[in-house]
Amino acid sequence: MEIEQAIKKAKERNQIAFNYLLDTFWNDVYGFQLKRTENENDAEDITIQTFSKAFDKIDSYNEKYKFKTWLLTISKNIHIDFLRMKKTTISNNTLDNDDNRVKSIIDESPSPEDKIITEQNLTKLLHDIKKLKPHYQEVINLRYFQELSYQEIASTLDEPMSNIKVKLLRAKKLLAEIIQKK
């Protein structure tokens, strides 16, 4: 399958075309982000977000430009947003004036109320995950509860890694839709 043909089919929501594009460009986007973030987890998360956004917005792709360039631009913008969010969090957590520094140690351990809220949220999340099809439940469980890498999940399920990436991407989207409906 040629890239132009795959893009055309992807615009028609052909899943095989999406898989082909993901397989073809995953290493380019991941490598690009790995150089920028110097962190494998951040690079992987941003790469997944890049493909998710790209597949959602595939209709806006302009054939005058190379597809790889379009993907890397999306990836770069997601990384910029990621850095802004990180910077905001850091600046909110630091005090500018030395005189205002807190001299005591703050106990950040969760209170009994926090623990109950966390348990309730986890219960709700598990309930929502059970609404997904079994194969989506399985990849969510392996990735986020058992904390396996994509390669380990692919080996466990005896499937190509590209299928695992697509399944996880879909599972997260479907789960987000379920949660937003509430």
In DSSP notation, the chain reads --HHHHHHHHHTT-HHHHHHHHHHHHHHHHHHHHHHH--HHHHHHHHHHHHHHHHHTGGG--TTS-HHHHHHHHHHHHHHHHHHHHHHHHHHHS-S-GGG---SPP--SPPHHHHHHHHHHHHHHHHHHTTS-HHHHHHHIIIIIS---HHHHHHHHT--HHHHHHHHHHHHHHHHHHHHH-
Report yes or no: 150 and 161 within 8 Å, Cβ to Cβ. yes
**pLDDT of 121 higher than 80:** no
Return the CATH number at 119. 1.10.10.10
Return the CATH number at 63. 1.10.1740.10
Residue 98: which pLDDT band, with cuts at 50, 70 and 90?
very low
Do 133 and 165 share a structural domain? yes
Q: Distance between CA atoms of 161 and 165, rounded to whole angstroms? A: 6
Residue 165: which pLDDT band, with cuts at 50, 70 and 90?
confident
Which of 25-39, 94-108, 117-131, 168-182 ranks highest by mean pLDDT?
A: 25-39
Do 148 and 75 share a structural domain? no
- Residue 51: is it exposed, middle or buried by C-beta count within 10 angstroms (0-12/13-18/19+)? buried
Q: What is the pLDDT of residue 126?
A: 84
Whether 67 maps to a domain, the answer reads yes
180 versus 93: the higher-pLDDT residue is 180
Do 115 and 83 share a structural domain? no
Whether 61 maps to a domain, the answer reads yes
Domain extent, residue 142, equals 111-181
Q: Distance between CA atoms of 146 and 153, rounded to whole angstroms? A: 10
User: pLDDT tens-digit profile of 27-60?
Assistant: 999 999 999 999 998 999 999 999 999 999 999 9
Do 83 and 16 share a structural domain? yes
Q: What is the pLDDT of residue 108?
A: 67
What mean pLDDT value characterizes the chain? 84
Q: What is the pLDDT of residue 25?
A: 95
Whether 103 maps to a domain, the answer reads no
Whether 139 maps to a domain, the answer reads yes
User: pLDDT tens-digit profile of 51-89?
Assistant: 999 999 999 998 888 999 999 999 999 999 988 888 777
Q: What is the pLDDT of residue 97?
A: 47
Domains identified in the chain, total number: 2
Of 43, 67, 93, the position where a domain reaches its end is 93
**pLDDT of 101 higher than 70:** no
Do 22 and 89 share a structural domain? yes
Q: Give the global pTM.
A: 0.54
Residue 179: which pLDDT band, with cuts at 50, 70 and 90?
confident
Do 14 and 83 share a structural domain? yes
